[in-house]
Amino acid sequence: MPVSFFIALKPNQTFPVRQAVWTPATMPTGPTIGVLSVVERRSEKGIATISRYAVLELEFVGGRRFKVTKPGGKEVYYTFLSASGPEYDECDCDGFQAHNRCKHSEAIRGLQLAGHLPMLLERIMAGPKQNIEGA
Ligand SMILES: [Zn+2]
């Protein structure tokens, strides 16, 4: 099993219990840097609504830009983390256009703050991820 990381996301009006699950790619220098799942529940033991995305990092100036794709490629979003701070983050999904925040930008900013999204050079220096649990 690949190693996953969990971070809490802020509650919103629909889902008081929210978290992001991040599974870094085993070849972290490839096009996909990991898989993001946003898990949302209406109560602590409620049924989970899970949104799963492959995450690619794109070259960008002034921040970091990520391509976030649902399996099958039907939903693709571009999420921008601003070097100027979270209040300048953006995403092109409908949620962000309506509310000025969304699960994609919240989850990716949260993962970045928790140290789970090293820059490309740091990933190259670290080498391929070891599958500790399977060793
Ligand atoms: Zn979004």
Triad 38, 40, 42: Cα angle to 5°? 175
**Predicted local distance difference test score (pLDDT) of residue 133:** 45
Q: How far does the centroid of ligand 1 lie from the alpha carbon of residue 108, in Å?
A: 10
Span 4-35, pLDDT tens digits? 999 999 999 999 999 999 999 887 677 789 99
Task: Check: CB of residue 61 under 8 Å from CB of residue 72.
Answer: no
Whole-number CA gyration radius for the chain: 15
**Alpha-carbon gap, residue 111 to 23, rounded angstroms:** 11
> Kind and range of the H or E element at 65?
strand 63-69
Tell how far the Cα of 131 is from the centroid of ligand 1, in angstroms: 30
CA of 97 to the centre of ligand 1 (A): 8
Burial class (CB in 10 A: 0-12, 13-18, 19+), 56: middle
In the structure, what pLDDT confidence band is assigned to residue 130 with cuts at 50, 70 and 90? low
Note the pLDDT of residue 135. Answer: 33
- How much distance in Å is there from the Cα of 111 to the middle of ligand 1? 15
